[in-house]
Amino acid sequence: MLKIILIIAVLFVSSLLYSGEMTIHLTNGTSESFEISDIEMITFGETPDTLFEWCTVPAGEYTYGWGDTIKTIDYDYQIMKNEVTNQQYVDYLEEAYAAGDIWIEGGYVVGYYEGDEHWSAGNYDFYDLGTPISGYNYARISWDGDSFIINVPSGYNPGDFDDHPVVYVTWFGSWAFAEHYGLRLPTEHEWEKAARGNTGWNYPWGDNIDGSRANYLWSGDPWDNGTTPVGMYNGQNIQGFQTTDSPSPYGVYDMAGNVWEWTDSWWSSSSSTRVLRSGGWSGAPPNLRSWSRGHGYPATSIDGIGFRCVFD
């Protein structure tokens, strides 16, 4: 029996129903019929638009900076609804390691970066492997010689921090994740527009902040002090802690607090550091304002920095 392997590239397949008989006409002039059940279906994996949740930011005006300067982005783009999680980053690491794109060296995940105007092409640290520091509630990824492991703080169970934002990832490691999936990091202008649109608000939801809306130092959430599950501040009651639904005008979550987020922008025209936005779990509320800026060298890896991606 002739066995035909059909390779079908799909964006999304909800169900495929096959029945009956198919005839294949071969190049030698003959043909052969067979039942559809003899076909082996091979489908490629999910694409970025189905692997992650996205929010559309339409072209138009937005307020930028502490002075609420009106600026314009003249194209639509998609931004991740949530920050990249520990599990999502582990999935990337496993795929990239299997492909030979990354390797382990001196306690770091290392990979190749193509270079830019400030940093030459070469091998750079992508992720700082290890375990969480005692007394803080965040996870950290390690390598056991065969696979990548999400290590949780004392008193928690494996899997408890899978949906928390990844930390200890460098700008290079964030860039590599985006490249792997055909995405990119947002510019700080794209980030700020996604955070507050044209509202002029200090925060994605308005001008005032409290612990029911965002994760910051001593904000009172069940994981004080440390990361919280991405998208947690959506009005749910979690472990007796009542949140207030606090998306940005475009439906994006955690645009204030939880972790600082790498962007693709330089701190200044002469700087070799990259801009950070959002503020994090270890900072005070003023750092969480939508127009607040931080910056770090792209090889920086600490417990309060993560990222999210965009695509056009």
DSSP assignment of 273-297:
SEEEES--TTS-GGGGSTT--EEE-
Number of CB atoms found within 10 A of residue 52's CB: 20
* Nearest Cα to Cα of residue 239 among 150, 152, 149, 156: 156
Beta-bridge partners for 22: 34
How would you class 17 by CB atoms within 10 Å of its CB: exposed for 0-12, middle for 13-18, buried for 19 or more?
Answer: exposed
DSSP per position, 181-236: TT-BPPPHHHHHHHHHTTS--SBTTBS---TTT---TT---TT-SB---TT-TTT-
Supply the pLDDT for residue 49.
76
Contacts of residue 206, Cβ cutoff 8 Å, sequence gap at least 6: none
CB atoms closer than 10 angstroms to residue 40: 9
Residue 118 has pLDDT above 70, yes or no: yes
Q: Of all residues in the chain, what percent carry a pLDDT higher than 90?
A: 84
DSSP class of residue 56 equals E
Q: What integer is the mean pLDDT of 18-22?
A: 40
178, amino acid identity: A
Distance CA 185, CA 168 (A): 17
User: What value does the mean pLDDT of the chain take?
Assistant: 89
Structural domains in the chain, CATH included, are 5-43 (no CATH), 48-311 (3.90.1580.10)
pLDDT beyond 70 at 229: yes
pLDDT reported for residue 93: 98
Least confident of 38-52, 241-255, 258-272: 38-52
pLDDT for residue 13 is more than 90: no
What's the order of all strands across the beta sheet hosting 54-57?
54-57, 77-80, 310-311
Write out pLDDT tens, residues 155-212: 999 999 999 999 999 999 999 999 999 999 999 999 999 999 999 999 999 999 999 9
Residue 16 Cα to chain centre, angstroms: 31
- pLDDT (mean) for 269-278: 97
Does pLDDT of 221 surpass 60?
yes
Q: Is the pLDDT of residue 94 over 90?
A: yes
pLDDT at residue 24, rounded to an integer: 37
The CA-CA-CA angle for residues 172, 251, 63, to 5°, reads: 75
**Dihedral through CA 210, CA 215, CA 221, CA 227, nearest 10?**
180
pLDDT band at 46 (very low <50, low <70, confident <90, very high): low
Residue-wise pLDDT for 95-112, tens only, equals: 999 999 999 999 999 999
d(CA 179, CA 287): 29
| pLDDT at residue 48, rounded to an integer | 78
Contacts of 9 (CB under 8 A, 6+ apart): 43, 44
94 in Cβ contact with 266 (< 8 Å): no
Rounded to the nearest 10°, the torsion over CA 199, 203, 209, 211 is 140
Sheet holding 294-296, edge to edge: 294-296, 274-277, 260-266, 305-306
In 3-state terms the chain splits into helix, strand, coil percentages (rounded to 5) of: 15, 30, 55
Measured CA to CA, the distance from residue 5 to residue 40 in angstroms comes to 5
Q: How does residue 148 score in pLDDT terms, banded at 50, 70 and 90?
A: very high
- The confidence band for 23, taking pLDDT boundaries of 50, 70 and 90, is very low
Q: Is the pLDDT of residue 131 over 90?
A: yes
